[in-house]
Structure 1
Amino acid sequence: MTDKVPPLLRNRDFLLLWQGSAVSSLGSNASTVAYALLVLALTGSPADAGFTGFVALLPQLLFQLPAGALVDRWNRKRAMIWCDVLRGLTVGSVAAALLAGHLYLAHVLVAGFVEGTLTVCFRIAASAAVPNVVHPSQLALALSRNEARARGAAMLGQPLGGVLFGLGRAVPFLFDAFSYLVSLGALLMIRKDFQVERPAQPGRPGRLGQLGQLGVEIGEGVRWLWRQPFLRTTTFLIAGSNLLFQALFLTVLVSARRHGGSSAAIGVMFGVAAVGGVVGSLVAPALERRLLMKVVVIGANWAWALLVPLLLVVRNPYLIGAVYALMCFVGPVWNVVISAYQLAVTPDRMRGRVLGAAGMVAFGAVPLGSLIGGLLLSRYGADTTVWLLAGWMALLAVVSTVSPAVRAAPGLTEATPLEPQSATAR
């Protein structure tokens, strides 16, 4: 019975996973701001900064599918441990090169690409593990706490990145490398398995080969996701909004710089925005119980469409942060509701592949947003770029409103694991 389930705050393994990831996210947010500031300092080019972000985020497009399939094959906890080790070494190499005075743009691009690839694998494994660490009745609550963790890390980490960069260019990257060690230590202390017991594989595939078999497994996850109308539609809507927000991030950063914003002020600006995300994360479980999923999807898209144009009339970094805070308040509610439903209906044995397929579309738009944002800023300037992005968000809001899949969205209480046969029988 649900009333006999211990409170989430007494779940030792969830707390270890949460705390380790919180410190790691804090370091990653600090280095994200520092990367953009570093490239602008090295080259003075918004296009270079946009291209650097594109390369660092390109693995979100390239490796979601194979990473998801491998996460379903491998021990998820062991995969996350290795990702932390290698990410720490990678970001540490950037700090070492800065301290030695021999950092080049090519090094930044390679380090960003490698770290981004490992992050894809870590994120999928961590997301797939949550239903195996918490009770099903606490899934939405656990996801809301993870959202609060991510938003809180952004609130503290982004201003911290600006401050640390002001102390020394290598400092935020040293801090990020240390954060991966903390995450590693937390993972090593977790007792629970991150997946259900899997049946033994009946030998290795024959002529098809391991690579071909991986392709078959990936295809199974892609087909399963495609046959879920609501998840398919929301995945593409998430991709559209992710593209917008990544382009908007660079637009706001450049605009604040041109209006005299210091590195610390820019960090505080994004920190103020993250406050809205933290508040949204805390209220997400209550809203999830009271709002239909279609209300969340349609309402979130229209809220963003109305808020983006406000960036044309505010110039002060702190006012920009306040507008961002309103945007970020909406995001956690969307994420908790959609993620809880997706995790609840996806069989554990293919959860990594489904998350990878959804992530390829949703997060694959992020590097494109960084590239597009840099190109638009270089050609048209900040104001025109904001107008174009506002039009894009308005289009997404209209699509969400008229979509039959969204309007007929099921309730989260109806969510039970759907095997591939059930999905095919539509």
Structure 2
Amino acid sequence: MTPLWRNRDFVLLWSGQVVSTLGARMSATAMPLLVLAMTGSPADAGLVGAAATLPYLIGHLPAGPLVDRWDRRRILLLSEVTAGLVLATVPIALWLDALTVAHLAVAAFAQGLCFVFFGLAESAALPMIVPAGQVHRAIAQNEVRERGAALAGGPLGGLLFGLDRALPFAVDALSYAAASIALLFLRGNLRPEPTAPPEPLWRATRTGLRWIRRQPLIRAAILLTAVSNLVFQALGLVLVVLARDGGATAGEIGVMLGVYAGGGLAGAVAAGTLHRLLPDRTVIIGVVWFWAALLPLFLLADGPWQLGAIAAGCAFAGPVWNVVIVGYCALLTPNELLGRVTSASMTLSWGVMPVGSLLAGLLLAAAGPGPAVLVLAAIMLAAAVGALRVAR
């Protein structure tokens, strides 16, 4: 078997996404800072965050059947090009002094929709690029890619924003261009195998949901993942406001988010080994209890470094969870159904993210960051108690 790092198409895809993800993390760090600088309103920041994640709720189900029908290489390329063009409008509007919150919300929504199509196409293409025996390792390397880019992207986004508010978004647009060039050199056939005439789109969207309904462990894991995604989507904005209210600068907030991401990178490096040592049920239940224990500690933190350290502990467990669930699903699902099954699971588990952003904005505006942390900790504790049902 060819070693993973000698697989030309995997290396091209992985390398291009390192650059693209780094740029996306920079702009994601800068986006709430920009909204807060423009309006001073956490509710507006939550609204823009909700717009960015709304495609996770409404885009995954229809996108899944399309990924199973269309050439996945074209979907990957079109998603990157479109996202880059959209992000380029943000620095242009800033330089022209014409940027509005509505513009940011539309740009964030479009970027999120491109992310949905790209993510589904990449998940469906991965088993066509690497052998079955290397799928778990490839997913683990993708986790390293995501977490490593987040580690660097947070501090860089904060630093660039401190120099010029437009810079993180301009760099992100260029990163999409670089990733698009890498995709042009993929040589493998990423077209789905031809099957019978495709079923109607709405019926096709239900195929993935029916498959998930027959998989008890994955069904339970998706529900728990949905709760954790809601909590951590809200937590990102809560941490930014908590640090800002404590006097942290944009650069210090970026470093805090970088420390947060560093925990995820360490977890991604360890995930390739841990997923082989720990039973799936142990990972699914144990991670939720781990998070429930850490969240209240944010109330005791003093300054951005301590906030980042606690968040890094939370982030460490995420990649192990992802490798177990995504790898299990990728190997169990027939490739011709993979786009639909992945889209259904993403709709259920990621569709709560806009609710998390709105919840964060409303809690911060109504009660402040301290009570917001308490609410998020209570939600995670309830999920941890519910996770015990999986062990039965």
User: TM-score, normalized by length of structure 2?
Assistant: 0.98
Question: What is aligned with 1:331?
Answer: 318
What is the CA distance between 1:24 and its match in structure 2?
A: 0.5
Aligned pairs (5 A) from 1:300-339: 300-339=287-326
1:141 paired residue among 137, 140, 147: 137
Q: Is structure 2 residue 123 aligned with structure 1 residue 123?
A: no
Which letter does structure 1 place at the counterpart of 2:309?
A
Structure 1, unpaired ranges of 5+:
206-212, 409-426
- 1:146 is paired with a residue whose SS is helix
Partner of 1:356: 343
Q: How many residues align?
A: 392
Q: Which residue, 399, 407, 422 being the options, matches 2:386?
A: 399
Structure number with larger C-alpha Rg: 1
Partner of 1:380: 367
1:132 aligns with 2:128: yes
Give 1:289 deviation, angstroms. 1.0
Q: Does 1:271 align with 2:267?
A: no
CA distance in 2, matches of 1:156, 1:333: 21
Aligned positions of 1:17-416 closer than 5 A = 17-199=13-195, 201-202=196-197, 213-403=200-390, 407=391
TM-score (norm 1): 0.90
Q: C-alpha deviations, 1:194-213, integer Å up to 9, x for none? A: 355223x44x88xxxxxxx1
Deviation string, structure 1 residues 331-362 (Cα, Å, up to 9, x no partner): 00000011100101111111111111111111
What secondary structure sits across from 2:190 in the alignment?
Answer: coil
Letter in 1 for 2:150: A
Asked whether the equivalents of residues 298 and 397 of structure 1 are also in contact (C-alpha less than 8 Å), the reply is yes
Asked whether 1:7 is paired with 2:3, we answer: yes
CA RMSD of aligned residues (A): 1.2
Letter in 1 for 2:3: P
State the distance in 2 between where 1:391 and 1:262 align.
Answer: 29
Larger mean Cα displacement after TM superposition, 231-240 or 217-226: 217-226
Deviation at 1:118, TM superposition (A): 1.3
State the Cα distance separating 1:193 from its structure 2 match.
Answer: 2.2
Kept in 2, the 8 Å contact 1:272–1:321? The answer is: yes
Tell me the percent identity.
46
Checking the alignment, whether the CA contact within 8 Å between 1:256 and 1:315 is kept in structure 2 is: no
Alpha-carbon distance between aligned partners in 2 of 1:220 and 1:260, rounded to the nearest angstrom: 50
In 1, distance between residues paired with 2:334 and 2:166? 43
Unaligned runs of 5+ in 2: none
Write the distance in 2 (CA, Å) between the matches of 1:118 and 1:382. 31
Partner of 1:73, secondary structure, is coil
8 Å contact from structure 1 (residues 60, 363) kept in 2: yes
Deviations 1:122-154 (A, max 9, x none): 111111111111111111111110001000011
In 1, distance between residues paired with 2:364 and 2:189? Answer: 47
